[in-house]
Amino acid sequence: MTLLSVRDLSVTLETPEGPAPILEDVGFDLAAGGSLGLVGESGCGKSMTALAVMGLLPERAVATGEIVFEGRNLLALPEGALCKLRGRRLAMVFQEPMTALNPVKTIGAQVAEGLRWHLGLGRGEAEARAVRLLDRVGLPRPRFAPGLYPHQLSGGQRQRVVIAMALACDPALLIADEPTTALDVTSQAAILDLLAEVAAEAGLALLLITHDLAVVWQNTRSMIVMYAGRVVERGGTHEVFARMAHPYSRGLFAASPGALDAVLPPGRRLAAIPGLVPDPLHRPAGCVFAGRCPRAAADCLPAQPAERRLAPGHAVACLHPHLEATPA
C-alpha cells in the first residue's frame, strides 16, 4: 500500500534576482514499511523535498504538485491539520544533533513532550514512556538519566535522543535528513543500524536522505538519484547499483570513498565530476547535467530528457544512458 506519493512536485524560491526553481517535477512513491534512499550532492534539492513533505518550506517558497500522504494532499492541508500530522504520523531526524535539541530542557522532557501533546498522556505516563524510548535507542538508565541535559551527551548520543523523539508517537513515516553526516564513522554505523532496526520493528516507512551511496546501499530497498532539483534515476537499490544508467549516478559512484571499498578494486582513485551544479536561476533548457556530462551530445541541449524505463522498476532521465553493468 502506498503511504506517501509525491507527484510533479515543483518548488520555486522567490529571490531578489527572480524566481529560482529548486525542485522540478519530482515524483516518487513510498510504500508503508518501505525504505527509499534519496541521494545527490549538496544543493540538489534533497532537503527541500523533505521540508516540502513536512510542510515546512521557507515562506518565500511556492510549491505546486501533490504530496499525498495517507490519502490526503499535504500541500492543500491547512497549517493546523499539518501540526497534528507532524510528530504524530510524520517524523523527522536532522543532520545536526548538536543543535537539534533544546539546550535548556532535559532529554526526558523533550522526548515526553510529543507524547503529552499528540497522545494526550499524563506527565507520569509520558515520562515512563520516555524512559522506555530512551532505553530502546540505546540510552539506558541509570547511565543516561532522563534528567540529563543535551550538553552532557555526545553527538551520537544526542542523535539517539532525536531518534527517540521522532519515534515517540509511533509515526508511519520517518524522514532522516543526512542523519549521520555530522557524526564520526563508528557512531554513523551504529545510528544507521539503529534507524533500520527501529524502522523494521515499528513497521514505519523510512525516507533516507544522504549524499553517501554506501548508506543508501546498506539501508534502503529502493532509491532515487537527484541532480539540480530533478530525479535523474530511480529504481530498486540493487538494480540501480548493478546497472547505473545515468552518467551522473556513475560519477557519484566513482566519487564515493569508504564503505564501498569492499566492492571496489584496491588502488582505485576516487574520481571527481568536473564542473559545478548549474545555478537554479540560470538552468539550461536541456538536460541539467549536459554541461558536466562525458556522454553529452547535441540532442541533449534542446529539451530536458523524459524518464525512460530500462527494466521493471528502473528508470532513467537520460538520452544516452549507460546500458552495460556498473564496472566493479
Judged by CB, which is closer to another protein: 151, or 309? 151
Which residue, 147 or 275, is less far from another protein as judged by CB?
147
Judged by DSSP in three states, 138 sits in coil
Residue 77 contacts another protein per CB under 8 A: no
Grid coordinates standing for 275? 564542473
Site for another protein, residues 139 to 168, rule: CB under 8 A? 141-142, 145-149, 151-152, 162, 165
Work out which of 16, 103, 265, 266 binds another protein, going by CB under 8 A. Answer: 103
Q: Which is nearer to another protein, 166 or 252 (CB)?
A: 166
Q: How far is the CB of 250 from another protein (least distance, A)?
A: 34
Q: Which is nearer to another protein, 105 or 268 (CB)?
A: 105
Q: Does the footprint of another protein cover residue 231 (CB under 8 A)? A: no
Size of the site for another protein (CB under 8 A): 44
* Environment class of 207 (CB within 10 Å of its CB; exposed 0-12, middle 13-18, buried 19+): buried
Residues numbered 108 to 137 that lie near another protein (CB under 8 A) are: 108-109, 112-114, 117-118, 127, 130
Q: Give me 320's grid cell.
A: 544516452
Alpha helix ranges (H) inside the chain: 46-54, 79-85, 107-118, 123-136, 155-167, 185-202, 213-219, 237-242, 247-254
C-alpha cell at 77: 492541508
Contact 97, 107 (CB under 8 A): no
Strand order in the sheet with 205-210: 90-93, 173-177, 205-210, 35-39, 222-227, 230-236, 314-316, 308-311
Please report how close the Cβ of residue 317 comes to another protein at its closest, in angstroms: 30
Interacting residues toward another protein by CB under 8 A: 54, 56, 79-80, 82-88, 90-92, 94, 96, 99-106, 108-109, 112-114, 117-118, 127, 130, 141-142, 145-149, 151-152, 162, 165
